[in-house]
Amino acid sequence: MPGYQSLPDILDLEKTPLQERPVAPDTFTMVQRGAALNPQTLALRFVLNGEKPTHSVDFTYATLLKRLYQTANALHALGVQPTDVVSYLLPNLPETTFTFMGGQVAGIVNPINPLLEPAQIADILNACGTKVLVTLRAFPKTDIWQKVEALAPLVPTLETVVTVDLLPYLPTPQRLLVGALRLGQHRPALPGQRVVDFQEILKAQPADRLLSGRVIAATDRAGYFHTGGTTGVPKIVSLTHRNLTVITSGTELLLGRTEETGPLVFFCGLPLFHINGVVVTVCAPWSMGHTLVLGSPQGYRGPGIIANFWHLVEHYRIALFSGVPTVFSRLLEVPVAGRDLSTLRYAICGAAPLAMGLIQEFERRTGLRIAEGYGSTECSCTTTVTPFAGDYVAGSIGLRLPYQDVRVVVLDPETSQYVRPASPNESGTIVVRGENVFGGYLQPEHNQGIWVDVGDGQGLFFNTGDLGRQDERGYFYITGRQKELIIRGGHNIDPKVIEEVLQQHPAVALAAAIGSPDADVGELPVAYVTRAPGQTVTEAELLAYAAEHIPERAAVPKRIYLADELPLTAIGKILKPALVKQEISRVFGARLTSISGLTVRQLTVRDDRQRGLVVAIEASGAAGLDVKQAVYEALQGYTVPHELRVTKE
């Protein structure tokens, strides 16, 4: 199998300086080079509905390049200059990929999670200074346009909204029905903003040249990506064209050159607002002349995609797909008998560690080994991954990618300053340096403490905030996250210690440990878990199991809550901030309920730009009750601040 196999192989590759490798100067040139390998090769195959897995809308590379030229020219005609921002709020559609690439040619592209609330989206648009927003036209069973109507007045820099219509992709009966429903309706409009149709503005543009005449520099900003969760002040990662072309070239070293692998088909089921989706399953295949199958507007969540996944693999001859643990877990429930999976070569799992049992069962059923990876938006996506052609090491997130300097270091716990390199297998902080690493967040206030100087004079490292270790062979392992530490009376507890034990219980599917507010010690460890399919277990049984198997007494959770599901981000990570808010609400609510004569009318936990999480309470009291004093006494000692609004009984 092509590609490197070991750390010595990576070191051998690095004997050739990165500057001497044929890395494209910008992302558009990168796609042009991939297209030149065979212009009539299929670049994109869009599957609208997984329940009709063999129905696709196809684009050759020749057609793709025409769409990218037209998209870039249309955005330029709307006034987009190289430093202007084009945001998109879209599901996974061909137009999403055209906007992602064409937006980088005209200006700076800014992908946004459509699941966010309007106020959060507006915050991101304002942080970026968005000039043009590409979004979905109003369509049955979608609420994206309604969100745009709500947020548009909140973004003063927004001049133009470009609407993408799902109608052309629908089967004829549905197309006629939706068309009939629109009869008599006004075209999309917004007070104060120009609203235009994506396809209409493309028709007026040439498809063989750039009207702007722009020459893109490698150091030009290509994209702004929001990160750091879905609440609070937006953290905007600014990536250059060089960042994206370097990380994409690393994929070729991992896979092998196209001449070695032959034509491959990549499947994209992750959202195209996330760095993994756009780098691993858009930039990578298009840079090497491979084919991308785009699986439904909702990705893996779309109807029929998981249920018919092995049919999709067989029909489109898929070789590589990237997913998250929940995807692989769900795929184990789908029968593979009778399906030809011989083209499958690579499966990459990121976002969270996989249980060893799941990995083994997946390989037994499909013959395919899952490669675990690790990365971040700040590092343009992947930092480490299990080499496809190398050894699989249980529990590891693999080797570093070539030309990335990834280390585990010991930092001062008070100042976060560099102390020394970690010894082999010693847990420390993972730091990364390389041309794939961003230059800092768009807002200066987020750049405090993110860089580490090891004193070698070769530049600063990005502090990932993740705890890990590296073994003697160069393989990395995640051991926790600094920002998720549970601090119990000054004692730091790594939530991984709790989660790993609970996930070894046969009845547990997912586990998340967080700190629960405590008036005496600051935080106490608690855990939220979901049951594995067909399994039964009680909270008492899990508490006993945890007490028996967790080696650190202080880390034994005080409570374990069984849940039908845990909140997840759009890419499948457990959304711990949501659990933290839920736990704070539970604790504060219980304390206030104990006050005789007090009626709590509303209790919410919100993000505050200066104070972090704040509990907002609306309450009233019976005659003679001093509500303010009673609430103060009940919540005294908790470090989470609260605001009280007293209403009449």
Which range (5-14, 23-32, 196-205, 482-491) has the least confidence? 482-491
Residue 184 to residue 195: CA distance in whole angstroms: 18
Same domain assignment for residues 506 and 590: no
pTM as predicted? 0.78
Same domain assignment for residues 270 and 299: yes
Residue with tokens 């990506």: 225
What average pLDDT score do residues 177-192 get?
80
What average pLDDT score do residues 510-531 get?
89
What was the pLDDT predicted at 229? 40
Same domain assignment for residues 557 and 595: no
Helix (H, G, I), strand (E, B) or coil at 598: strand
Taking only the tens place, the pLDDT of each residue in 116-144 is: 888 889 999 999 999 999 999 988 888 99
Length of the chain: 649
Residues 6+ apart with CB under 8 A from 578: 567
What CATH number corresponds to the domain at position 629?
Answer: 3.30.70
Q: Look at residue 453 and tell me whether its pLDDT is greater than 70.
A: yes
Same domain assignment for residues 342 and 430: no
What CATH number corresponds to the domain at position 554?
Answer: 3.30.300.30
Q: Closest Cα partner for 198 from 167, 152, 156?
A: 167
Q: Band the pLDDT of 302: cuts 50, 70, 90.
A: very high
Residue 580 to residue 568: CA distance in whole angstroms: 13
Same domain assignment for residues 384 and 429: no
Same domain assignment for residues 290 and 169: yes
- 571 in a structural domain: no
Burial letters 357-374, b for 16+ CB under 10 A, else e: ebbeebeebbeeebbbbb
- What would you report as the CA-atom Rg of the chain, rounded to the nearest whole angstrom? 26
Helix (H, G, I), strand (E, B) or coil at 213: coil
Helix (H, G, I), strand (E, B) or coil at 645: strand
Q: Look at residue 233 and tell me whether its pLDDT is greater than 70.
A: no
What average pLDDT score do residues 486-491 get?
66
Residue 597 to residue 601: CA distance in whole angstroms: 13
Same domain assignment for residues 352 and 390: yes
Helix (H, G, I), strand (E, B) or coil at 296: coil
Q: What is the overall mean pLDDT for the chain?
A: 90
Residue 483 to residue 580: CA distance in whole angstroms: 13
Same domain assignment for residues 202 and 246: yes
Same domain assignment for residues 249 and 388: yes
What was the pLDDT predicted at 492? 63
What was the pLDDT predicted at 232? 47
Question: Which domain covers residue 547, as residue numbers?
Answer: 485-566
Contact 461, 451 (CB under 8 A): yes
What was the pLDDT predicted at 143? 92
Residue 495 to residue 516: CA distance in whole angstroms: 12
Contact 440, 447 (CB under 8 A): yes
Same domain assignment for residues 144 and 45: yes
Percentage of the chain surpassing pLDDT 70? 95
Q: Look at residue 247 and tell me whether its pLDDT is greater than 70.
A: yes
What DSSP line would sit under 38-95, residue for residue?
-TTSEEEEEES-TTSTT--EEEEHHHHHHHHHHHHHHHHHTT--TT-EEEEE--S-HH
> Among 455, 477, 499, where does a domain finish?
477
Contact 617, 600 (CB under 8 A): yes
- CA angle 377/381/387 to nearest 5° reads 155
- 332 in a structural domain: yes
Q: Band the pLDDT of 623: cuts 50, 70, 90.
A: confident
Residue with tokens 């926790």: 480
- 1 in a structural domain: no
Percentage of the chain surpassing pLDDT 90? 65
Q: Token pair of 310, please?
A: 């092995």
Same domain assignment for residues 301 and 240: yes
Which range (148-152, 177-181, 572-576) has the least confidence? 177-181
- 614 in a structural domain: yes
> Among 541, 566, 591, where does a domain finish?
566
What was the pLDDT predicted at 231? 37
What DSSP line would sit under 380-433, residue for residue?
TEEEEE--TTS---TT--BEEPTT-EEEEEEE-TTT--EEEEPPTT--EEEEEE
Q: Closest Cα partner for 437 from 238, 222, 221?
A: 238
- 249 in a structural domain: yes
- 572 in a structural domain: no
- 52 in a structural domain: yes
- 76 in a structural domain: yes
Residues 6+ apart with CB under 8 A from 612: none
Burial letters 273-304, b for 16+ CB under 10 A, else e: bbbbbbbbbbbbbbbbbbbbbbbbbebbbbeb
Same domain assignment for residues 35 and 80: yes
Q: Look at residue 610 and tell me whether its pLDDT is greater than 50.
A: no
Q: How many domains does the chain have?
A: 4
Contact 313, 345 (CB under 8 A): no
> Among 477, 512, 537, where does a domain finish?
477
Taking only the tens place, the pLDDT of each residue in 549-607 is: 886 777 899 999 999 889 887 777 788 888 999 999 999 999 999 999 999 999 999 87
What CATH number corresponds to the domain at position 191?
Answer: 3.40.50.12780
